[in-house]
């Protein structure tokens, strides 16, 4: 039983706190405002009641003083008080000697004269001219007693009832309680309504948030809800702006996530297709060896050569994919081997290799004899130049003019690879650097390759801290590689994002 009794009181406050926590904010604020108002009303009521009681008490004391002035003259002339001033008042004259008071007769006194006698005996013989005290007379009630000295040894005691004073104070308290209760009720009700109206924008934002939770984010990357309205004051407007800004950030994050998922699906599909084609070829040639015709020496060498070609094609594709994966994870292990190299010499070597490998295209080079010393990975920059030049040769017919220009500024060195082909449509220019993306949508090696060349080139340039820009129109396409003359990004921190671009 003792354990139950000790646990029960502890459970009730927790239940009350839990109920209070679940109450709506407007109700809690209204209750808090009501509690604060109740304290204010209590303080004001107590102060007002105390002041009114003291005021009435002083007024009664002044009234008794004026009455005793006339009564003192009457007592000095006749020995006792002949006239009763007010109904319910009592007057007595005492002879005081040796600390004892003897009542003079006749006197208008109650049956219980103990309080009046005590007031006469308590008056000091010297010093104070009068004294005031509150006393209770049996059978009569509460009285205020005033004692004053008429002449040496003679004390006049007047008793005034305090029923009217106490009744007035009680009425004042009753009026205050009723008035304050009504005011408190009106304040809580009106305050709740005002707070509910003031908090309505916050409730609207909560409704908007609930709408977000019920929105299917798998079908759309956008949130069709926003917190509207222009009411609520500066604080609510600031909260609404922050809330809508947060939704915009969520929208952007969802758009990025959706785009990344789409790129990943597209990447997996394209990679599967690109790897499936040479694998099917390898399997087909391997199946030919099951037939006698494929065992003839000439036929066997022919099929083996094709097997090696398909394996080499698949090896190049896998090398490009591995390089892109390493570039995506460059903050862990950079694939670059940086050294001081001459960009002009690398450009001339790429030009010579292009002329030897693509004699059907005319190539003009503007490089200059002066060396351009940069800190870079010569093998990777040469790969970028070869990819861009090969891209120009593959996507333009024989005889198309191709050009290479190298220029140097204070901050960067810029290599431009241009051609006079048909150009790239505007709608395709933003995606030419995506992995496995080809403008002509062909899946043939003869028309656009695997679609990784430009993606590898852009990723390598970004890893060096540079940029690749494309400008294209009918009759002119320019890829501009800009490499900084300071430290590349590979030596300054994280290299690049993990997206397809």
Q: What is the mean pLDDT of residues 409-420?
A: 90
Task: List strand residue ranges (DSSP E) for 58-188, in order.
Answer: 90-97, 100-103, 130-137, 141-151, 154-161
Position 168 scores a pLDDT of: 93
- Return the percentage of the chain with pLDDT > 70, whole number: 75
**1 pLDDT tier (thresholds 50, 70, 90):** very low
Q: What is the mean pLDDT of residues 264-269?
A: 68
Residue 221 has pLDDT above 60, yes or no: no
Cβ neighbours of residue 300 under 8 Å, at least 6 residues apart? 289, 294
User: 103 φ, ψ to 5°?
Assistant: -75, 130
- Return the percentage of the chain with pLDDT > 90, whole number: 26
β-bridge mates for residue 142, sequence order: 136
pTM score over 0.75: no
How far apart, in whole angstroms, are the C-alpha atoms of residue 229 and residue 242? 14
Mean pLDDT of the chain: 79
Cβ neighbours of residue 49 under 8 Å, at least 6 residues apart? 169, 172, 173, 176
Residue 42 has pLDDT above 80, yes or no: yes
Place of tokens 């949130």: 223
**84 pLDDT tier (thresholds 50, 70, 90):** confident
Position 228 scores a pLDDT of: 60
How far apart, in whole angstroms, are the C-alpha atoms of residue 90 and residue 155? 14
Which is more confidently placed, 128 or 132?
A: 132
Position 114 scores a pLDDT of: 92
Residue 449 has pLDDT above 80, yes or no: no
Q: What is the pLDDT of residues 43-71, one digit of tens each?
A: 999 999 999 999 999 999 999 999 998 88
Using an 8 Å Cβ cutoff, are 500 and 334 in contact?
A: no
**211 pLDDT tier (thresholds 50, 70, 90):** low
How many CB atoms sit inside 10 A of residue 125's CB? 12
**417 pLDDT tier (thresholds 50, 70, 90):** very high
Q: What is the mean pLDDT of residues 93-102?
A: 89
């Amino acid at each position: 039983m003792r354990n139950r009794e000790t646990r029960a009181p502890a459970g009730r406050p927790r239940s009350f706190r839990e109920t209070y926590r679940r109450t709506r904010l407007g109700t809690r604020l209204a209750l808090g405002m009501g509690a604060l108002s109740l304290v204010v009303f209590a303080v004001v009521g107590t102060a007002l009641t105390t002041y009114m009681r003291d005021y009435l008490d002083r007024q009664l004391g002044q009234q008794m003083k004026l009455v005793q002035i006339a009564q003192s003259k009457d007592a000095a002339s006749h020995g006792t008080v002949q006239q009763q001033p007010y109904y319910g008042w009592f007057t007595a004259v005492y002879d005081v000697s040796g600390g004892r008071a003897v009542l003079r007769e006749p006197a208008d006194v109650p049956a219980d004269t103990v309080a009046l006698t005590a007031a006469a005996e308590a008056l000091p013989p010297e010093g104070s001219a009068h004294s005031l005290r509150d006393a209770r007379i049996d059978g009569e009630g509460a009285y205020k007693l005033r004692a004053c000295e008429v002449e040496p040894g003679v004390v006049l005691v007047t008793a005034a009832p305090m029923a009217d004073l106490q009744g007035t104070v009680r009425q004042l308290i009753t009026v205050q309680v009723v008035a304050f209760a009504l005011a408190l009720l009106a304040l809580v009700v009106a305050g709740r309504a005002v707070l509910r109206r003031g908090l309505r924008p916050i409730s609207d934002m909560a409704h908007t948030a609930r709408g977000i939770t019920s929105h299917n984010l798998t079908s759309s990357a956008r949130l069709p809800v926003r917190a509207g309205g222009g009411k609520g004051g500066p604080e609510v407007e600031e909260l609404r702006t922050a809330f809508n800004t947060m939704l915009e950030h969520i929208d952007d994050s969802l758009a990025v996530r959706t785009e990344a998922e789409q790129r990943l699906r597209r990447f997996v599909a394209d990679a599967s297709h690109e790897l499936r084609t040479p694998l099917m070829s390898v399997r087909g040639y391997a199946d030919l060896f099951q037939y006698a015709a494929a065992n003839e020496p000439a036929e066997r060498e022919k099929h083996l050569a094709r097997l090696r070609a398909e394996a080499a094609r698949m090896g190049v594709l896998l090398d490009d994919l591995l390089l892109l994966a390493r570039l995506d994870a460059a903050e862990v292990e950079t694939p670059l081997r940086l050294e001081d190299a001459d960009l002009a010499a690398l450009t001339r070597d790429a030009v010579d290799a292009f002329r030897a490998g693509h004699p059907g295209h005319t190539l003009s080079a503007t490089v200059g004899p002066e060396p351009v010393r940069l800190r870079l990975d010569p093998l990777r920059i040469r790969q970028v130049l070869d990819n861009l030049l090969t891209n120009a040769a593959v996507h333009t017919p024989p005889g198309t003019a191709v050009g290479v220009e190298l220029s140097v500024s204070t901050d960067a060195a810029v290599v431009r690879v241009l051609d006079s082909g048909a150009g790239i449509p505007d709608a395709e220019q933003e995606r030419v650097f995506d992995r496995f993306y080809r403008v002509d949508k062909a899946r043939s090696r003869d028309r656009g390759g695997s679609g990784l060349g430009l993606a590898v080139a852009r990723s390598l340039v970004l890893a060096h801290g540079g940029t690749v820009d494309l400008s294209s129109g009918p009759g002119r396409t320019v890829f501009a590689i800009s490499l900084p003359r300071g430290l590349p990004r590979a030596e300054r921190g994280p290299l690049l994002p993990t997206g397809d671009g």
